[in-house]
Amino acid sequence: MNLRFPTACALLGLLLLAACQKPAEPLKPPVPGASVEGNVISFPKDSPQLSTLRTTTVAPERESRVRINGRTAWDETLTSRVNSPVAGRVSALLAMPGAHLRRGQTMAVISSPEFGQTQAEARRAENDLIFAERNLARANELLKAGVIALKEQQAAENDHARARTERERTLAKERLYGGAGAIDQQFKLVSPIDGVVVQRQVTLGQEIRPEQSSDQPLFVISNPARLWVLLDVPEILTREIQVGELVRIGVPALPGETFSARVEYVADAIDPQTRTVRARAALDNRDRRLKAEMYITGDVEIPPTTALKVPSTAVYLLGDTHYAFVEESTGRFVRRALKAEEGSLGSMRVSGGLVMGEKVVADGALLLQQLISQKATAPRNAAAAPR
């Protein structure tokens, strides 16, 4: 009796435990797989495979307008950067920033012993020429009188010619520096063109030398009524920018305003660092609203094209033909043959087989092609299987 009691209790406990357990939930029916009919693949709306497919919209190969970054700059055909050709100390400043100058107008006076030496050489050469002329006249008279030999007269002619050459050289150098007359060592720095002083990098009493960097000229003279627009054209857009093309200029500092510029120059080389081509346009700035070195954007109209653009991942090559899958409706994809070629920046240029606005599979096209391939080989595998 005592041996049977524990066994009965154990059986009773197992029955109670089984009664307390929840009833098993019924198994969900499996989600049906994809249906493949020829070049058409259909998925149920709740198919998990749809989450692995990403579509994108077919777009034109290029927009009718492209935007290029750039900046404004002084028109170099109307600009002069002036440095001093002689060393010295600035003793007078006669041109302030913003001043309107005429060609030849003095901007600064420089006390220069070097220029004084040039003046002295020119005066000395003049005196030497006068002395040589007198010696030649005397030698001619003595030769006629038979006092001197022909050799001495010819030596006098040679000295006269040498003195005349030296005087011409020293006078040309003096005129190059803009000086003539008394030796005063005062070099006048003058404006080489008509224009406005747009930059001045010199102060009264400053010591200056000709070897100073040209990046820091003493004066910059220009005409602000006309500016250049320097555009950095990406390499892939070089064929779209041509001389004579109109560019609409926008300036972040002047929101809502646009300006017109005409392309005058396109470089023949690409910058190896930025992979851009420098283009230049001319801009009318008579109202002086724009300033040099402003950042700008240039909008260029380009001819429309019938070609379309899709990501390179959406197109695959099978044999000699390119294909892509078009989403006709949710979960329904159709394979199409395309006329396509490699485009730029990870895209394919499509000239046939797609319509703008359609959706193509950008990620997962190879998975869909695998389903079609499996469907095509399934009957052959079944026929080859032994019975």
Amino acid residing at 127? N
Q: Do 106 and 149 belong together in one domain? A: no
Q: Do 313 and 198 belong together in one domain? A: no
45-87: per-residue pLDDT in tens?
Answer: 888 888 889 999 998 876 667 889 999 999 999 999 999 999 9
* Residue 3 counted as domain residue: no
Kindly report the CATH number assigned to the domain that includes residue 355. 2.40.420.20
Q: Do 43 and 105 belong together in one domain? A: no
Q: Do 292 and 228 belong together in one domain? A: yes
Q: Do 91 and 119 belong together in one domain? A: no
Q: Which pLDDT score is estimated for 15? A: 47
Q: Do 258 and 280 belong together in one domain? A: yes
Q: Which of 315, 302, 298, 304 is nearest to 354 (CA)?
A: 315
309-349: per-residue pLDDT in tens?
Answer: 899 999 999 999 999 999 999 899 999 999 998 876 688 88
Which of 244, 274, 301 is the C-terminal boundary of a domain?
301
* Residue 8 counted as domain residue: no
Q: Is the pLDDT of residue 10 over 70?
A: no
Q: Which of 79, 83, 68, 66 is nearest to 292 (CA)?
A: 79
162-180: per-residue pLDDT in tens?
Answer: 999 999 999 888 888 877 6
343-360: per-residue pLDDT in tens?
Answer: 766 888 898 999 989 999
Residue range 216-233: mean pLDDT, rounded: 94
Residue range 282-286: mean pLDDT, rounded: 93
Residue range 364-372: mean pLDDT, rounded: 91
Q: Do 127 and 73 belong together in one domain? A: no
Q: Do 50 and 174 belong together in one domain? A: no
Q: Do 106 and 196 belong together in one domain? A: yes
What are the φ/ψ torsions at residue 305 (nearest 5 degrees)?
A: -135, 150
Cα angle 280-345-261, degrees, rounded to a multiple of 5: 20
Amino acid residing at 154? Q
Distance of alpha carbon 130 from alpha carbon 123, whole angstroms: 11
Cα angle 14-15-21, degrees, rounded to a multiple of 5: 90
Q: Do 191 and 208 belong together in one domain? A: yes
229-275: per-residue pLDDT in tens?
Answer: 999 998 878 887 889 989 999 999 999 899 999 999 999 999 999 89
Distance of alpha carbon 311 from alpha carbon 347, whole angstroms: 4
Q: Which residues have a Cβ under 8 Å from the Cβ of 73 and sit 6 or more positions away? A: 227, 228, 229, 230, 292, 293
Kindly report the CATH number assigned to the domain that includes residue 126. 1.10.287
Q: Is the pLDDT of residue 22 over 70?
A: no
Domains of the chain: total: 4
Q: Do 210 and 85 belong together in one domain? A: yes
Q: Is the pLDDT of residue 100 over 90?
A: yes
Query: In this predicted structure, which of 19-33, 41-55, 241-255, 359-373 has the lowest mean pLDDT?
Result: 19-33
Here the tokens at position 27 are 């198994």
Q: Is the pLDDT of residue 18 over 50?
A: no
307 pLDDT tier (thresholds 50, 70, 90): confident
Q: For strand 308-311 and strand 347-352, is the pairing parallel, antiparallel, or unpaired?
A: antiparallel
Kindly report the CATH number assigned to the domain that includes residue 95. 2.40.50.100
Distance of alpha carbon 20 from alpha carbon 290, whole angstroms: 86
What are the φ/ψ torsions at residue 355 (nearest 5 degrees)?
A: -120, 140
Residue range 109-127: mean pLDDT, rounded: 91
Q: Do 211 and 85 belong together in one domain? A: yes
Q: Is the pLDDT of residue 383 over 60?
A: no
Enclosing domain of residue 268: 66-77+223-301
> Do the Cβ atoms of 42 and 270 come closer than 8 Å?
no
More confident residue, 103 or 66: 103
304 pLDDT tier (thresholds 50, 70, 90): low
